[in-house]
Amino acid sequence: MTALLRHLKQRGHLDGLHFNVCSVGARKVADGDDFEAQGWGIFAPHLTVYGFDADADACDIASLDFATRHLDWQEHYVPLALSDTAANKALYVTQDPMCTSLYPPNEPLLARFEKLPEFMNLDFALEVETTTLDAFCEAEQVPFIDFLQIDVQGADLHVLHGARQLLSTVLMIQIEVEFAPLYENQPLFADIDTFLRLEGFSLFDLIGTRCKRAHSPIFNRNRPGQLLWGEAFYLRDPLLLYPQESKLSSERTLKLACIAFLSGFLDFAFELLEHLTLTVGQSDPRYNFTAAIEDFLLELNMSNDAIANLRLMQNLRSA
């Protein structure tokens, strides 16, 4: 949903904002992996995407796909394996390349579940040179990343460790997590969750994937297998401890609201826009979003009376 962002853009609230997005594990396997399909183009031309994958062919395919669409923002796909250090490491290429990892697959565990071995069992291993996200961004003079997406099959925590300097600039992280050791000795969800909470992020959502045991003749519809992995969504919550005072600058709080709205966390986005309007917007019209929010609600075919009765609008109009 980009309608509210469109109204913010039309009224000039996004002027001067540039969004940097980073995707680690940038192989595109579905239409939803495309940043245009996800709505990020609303920020064009002030949008830059950096994609990383150990598979150079996957980067070439993504680069060619972007070039053929003639879009008005920048995307750069870099054939690098990101980790926590610059070193030579083994890369374990699996039967389906999308499951390739810096960790070897845990084949005895995989064999207990339907279909997992045919995707995740080892095909071959090779040596790759790894680097860190911090090192890349320093070398390429990338000062900040607003949205960080990580999907590197068990090695996600290592990518975070290699981005410690950059993490202070990140507003939202979407990261793959595992609840069982699908790869040998890999970090699990609890390790990632602990690390990100210490870095100031809050868990907003978790979308899990369950897998069935290979030999069971029946399954429970309400418990369709074991929770093995998922997508976790972490955002900064600048109002967590002090609701009246954001720990982020007004500009970064606005960017966070935009990313939250684009990612489906509408209630959080409205809370942030309300906070900015009430605390900053009275003296700086760039951060008064009353009119843009009203435009958006009218587009949803809400009546003026219904809009006037919303607690949000009452707070904004009474300020």
| pLDDT tens digits along 259-300 | 999 999 999 999 999 999 999 999 999 999 999 999 999 999
User: Are 309 and 169 in the same domain?
Assistant: no
User: Are 111 and 58 in the same domain?
Assistant: yes
Answer yes or no: is 3 within a domain: no
Answer yes or no: is 13 within a domain: no
Which conformational region is residue 167 in: left (phi greater than 0), alpha (psi within -120 to 50 degrees), or beta? alpha
Q: How far apart are CA 64 and CA 58, in angstroms?
A: 10
- pLDDT value at position 30? 64
Answer yes or no: is 11 within a domain: no
Q: Which residue, 201, 222, 247, sits at the end of a domain?
A: 247
User: With the C-alpha atoms ordered 38, 39, 41, 46, is the resulting torsion angle positive or negative?
Assistant: negative
How many folded domains does the chain comprise?
A: 2
Q: pLDDT tier at 34 (50, 70, 90 boundaries)? A: confident
User: Are 51 and 191 in the same domain?
Assistant: yes
User: Are 189 and 307 in the same domain?
Assistant: no
Domain enclosing residue 315, as ranges: 248-319
- pLDDT value at position 31? 63
Q: pLDDT tier at 192 (50, 70, 90 boundaries)? A: very high
- pLDDT value at position 33? 73
CATH code assigned at 203: 3.40.50.150
User: Are 170 and 317 in the same domain?
Assistant: no
The mean pLDDT value for 172-196 works out to 98
- pLDDT value at position 65? 92
Q: Which residue, 213, 247, 281, sits at the end of a domain?
A: 247
- pLDDT value at position 244? 65
Answer yes or no: is 9 within a domain: no
User: Are 225 and 272 in the same domain?
Assistant: no
Q: Would you say residue 28 has pLDDT above 80?
A: no
Answer yes or no: is 8 within a domain: no
Answer yes or no: is 84 within a domain: yes
pTM of the model: 0.95
- pLDDT value at position 319? 76
User: Are 172 and 223 in the same domain?
Assistant: yes
Answer yes or no: is 7 within a domain: no
User: With the C-alpha atoms ordered 6, 32, 151, 114, is the resulting torsion angle positive or negative?
Assistant: positive
Q: pLDDT for 51-98, tens place per residue? A: 999 999 999 999 999 999 999 999 999 999 999 999 999 999 999 999
- pLDDT value at position 26? 86
Q: pLDDT for 90-139, tens place per residue? A: 999 999 999 999 999 999 999 999 999 999 999 999 999 999 999 999 99
Q: Which residue, 189, 215, 247, sits at the end of a domain?
A: 247
User: Are 186 and 301 in the same domain?
Assistant: no
Answer yes or no: is 6 within a domain: no
User: Are 307 and 212 in the same domain?
Assistant: no
Q: pLDDT tier at 11 (50, 70, 90 boundaries)? A: very high
- pLDDT value at position 87? 96
User: Are 192 and 129 in the same domain?
Assistant: yes
- pLDDT value at position 241? 79
User: Are 102 and 170 in the same domain?
Assistant: yes
User: Are 216 and 253 in the same domain?
Assistant: no
